Structure 1
């Protein structure tokens, strides 16, 4: 198999729901699905509590939901794990769980008494400060359990407001608002090393969209290809690129091609997470929106369409809203569908 024609293990099919035993006490809660969303049995969503020898006589099973984000097709989008009640889990357990799930990220949610949510994101190899597709998956999963509406997520990157709503066709759509984005120059030596790892030449780049490093909750170099074929023929040195990204603290590489003023194609290598490529990358989409605004490459306010994942057989659709206010976050919108 071509190395860039796959994502994390098990991402090409819908595995069965996974549960894992963890210590803890039962937490009060209600099951209140969004209007029009079919309710499933309570014990299919909520953590089950049994008498046991640990933690004061209780052993709680962790319910790991699986979704694909930025698609309504289970065979498209980017798979994410979602644990809606991760209270009591330590960092080692979260990391081990994410590694076993095998998706590019798994989100671990701890509800606060005020109704807001603490969220941490783990790839199979490392924790990341923010993950867009797992945020969309989390918002949809939360809406299907508690109803649509507004949420506030506390992430390591900062607060991220999310709104979930239901379309007339019944699909739940979520919009996140990133932290304030930033864009900085990329060091010439880093760019040369990056292009060498990608096996690209300077002649492959689009001079209208200069290389930069952009932030929308995580750092992503933005590298624009002049030709769509250059983006399609992705074959990079995973070890070399992963080493560079680890040294610089980059999460994915946002490889883009501009099809029109507001339509882009994207691919996102993710070797630091142990994943060859992301089929959809909401954090990179937010960073890219900030990049375009700061460099004045779009007429503001703007709404972008980003196509990602098609080259690896998992087509995804991301909608990016760019407000004119330079201090505002970038809006990233998408759907998600449960696969396990």
Structure 2
């Protein structure tokens, strides 16, 4: 797409994978200064990815290194969302290829999100066909919190998913967790339960809109610090999100608060395998710091 005032360049990156065919694709518009909300939503809808990130100049109060601070807005094909982890990682990798690794600062609707980019670019910013990047981005969430879900709302979620209550893992109690966006965490007792996802799109969407949920974070524990996850995303207009950084941050806060993991921990989340787009999300928890760090690789989609 040729960049003009009316049609800015829309980049395509995948996050949480070094393979363009893995992870979660996101659109990235590095200069959205000429776009209004309707134009941003139109671009996101046309692109069809679960989210597209739009960058403009930062607010004066944000601070940060000159040239490395931005305002970022995120749009799904259906609506604006307050924060999106995978589009943040994708955007940070795109910027890292152009201005180099280092620290970035994003002003989002959910709050200020620092992002660290490490590694070295290998030329994909100029359109190399191998899509190689060599960069990783790690975001630091806003301060998270966890809250209960009512029995009635839980029953409705399970009915929409067509999950019998007996298929839940009692070691992963249902909760709503927030680290920039709200996610309902449900534990699957078996990997087979997690793999079998066929839900009532409209029914789950209605519940999620009422509870202001961005995704439902479905989790199966494979080891002390290893989890498989899936994220239905009907409110965004897509059946499932392939790799969900905001949900990973929320889950990290949830796992720590409920004592599933130590206060200092590094978790590995595998997502997208059941969709044929495998990705890996690293979740870092630090004792004494309520915020959660989520990192992963990113690469341009040729």
TM-score when normalising by structure 1:
0.81
CA deviation digits over 1:30-69, x for unaligned, max 9? xxxxxxxxxxxxxxxxxxxxxxxxxxxxxxx401000011
CA 168–126 in structure 1, closer or farther in 2 if over 3 Å, else same = closer
CA distance in 2, matches of 1:337, 1:82: 12
Matches of 1:244 and 1:102 in 2, distance apart?
23
Residues 64-103 of structure 1 aligned to structure 2 (within 5 Å): 64-103=10-49
Secondary structure at 1:235's aligned position in 2? coil
Q: Please say if 1:335 is aligned against 2:297.
A: yes
* Contact 2:97–2:121 under 8 Å retained in 1: no
Q: Residue 220 of structure 1 is aligned with which of 141, 162, 183?
A: 183
Answer yes or no: is 1:124 the counterpart of 2:107.
Answer: no
Separation in 2, partners of 1:84, 1:258: 37
Corresponding residue of 1:154: 107
User: For 1:334 and 1:158, how far apart are their aligned partners in 2?
Assistant: 21
Query: How far apart are the structure 2 equivalents of 1:252 and 1:152?
Result: 25
- Aligned residue pairs: how many? 285
Residues 265, 308 of structure 1: 8 Å contact kept: yes
In structure 1, what is the Cα distance between the partners aligned to 2:4 and 2:115? 30
The structure number with the bigger radius of gyration is 1
- For the residues of structure 2 that align with 1:63 and 1:336, how far apart are their CA atoms? 19
Q: Is the 8 A contact 2:158 2:165 kept in 1?
A: yes
Query: Residue deviations 1:246-277, cap 9 Å, x none?
Result: 11110000000000110000000000000000
- Structure 1 position 139, deviation (Å): 0.2
How many Å separate the matches in 1 of 2:255 and 2:284?
11
Q: Which runs of 5+ in 1 are unaligned?
A: 1-17, 24-60
Q: Is 2:203 the counterpart of 1:257?
A: no
Match of 1:301 in 2: 264
> 1:167: Cα distance to partner?
5.7
Cα deviation, residue 21, structure 1: 4.5
Instruction: State the secondary structure of the residue aligned to 1:283.
Output: helix
Change (3 A) 1:168 1:102: closer
Separation of aligned partners in 2, 1:21 and 1:92: 17
Q: Secondary structure at the match of 2:193?
A: helix
Is residue 273 from structure 1 mapped to residue 236 from structure 2 by the alignment? yes
Structure 2, gaps ≥5 residues long = 61-65, 123-132
- Do the aligned partners of residues 127 and 168 (structure 1) sit closer, same or farther apart at CA in structure 2, a change above 3 Å counting? closer
Equivalent position of 1:164 in the other structure: 117
Tell me the residue number matched to 2:93: 140
In the aligned structure 2, how far is the partner of 1:79 from the partner of 1:99? Answer: 14
Q: CA deviation at 1:297?
A: 1.2
Q: Distance in 2 between matches of 1:204 and 1:319?
A: 26
Between the aligned partners of 2:251 and 2:93, the Cα distance in structure 1 is 23
Distance in structure 2 (CA, Å) of the matches to 1:282 and 1:269: 14
In 2, are the aligned partners of 1:132 and 1:282 still within 8 Å (CA)? yes
Q: Does the alignment pair 1:185 with 2:185?
A: no
Q: Deviations over 1:85-109 (max 9, x none)?
A: 1112111110111000110000001
SS of 2:213's partner is coil
- Structure 1 residues 334, 110: CA separation in 2 closer, same or farther (over 3 Å shift)? same
Question: How far, CA to CA, are the matches of 1:144 and 1:167 in structure 2?
Answer: 8
| Cross-structure match for 1:22 | 5
259, 268, 274: which one aligns with 1:311: 274
Query: What stretches of structure 1 move > 4 A for 4+ residues in a row?
Result: 167-170
TM superposition score normalised by structure 2: 0.91
Q: Contact between 2:75 and 2:81, CA under 8 Å: does it hold in 1?
A: yes
Moved more, 248-257 or 162-171: 162-171
Task: Give the secondary structure class of the aligned counterpart of 2:202.
Answer: helix
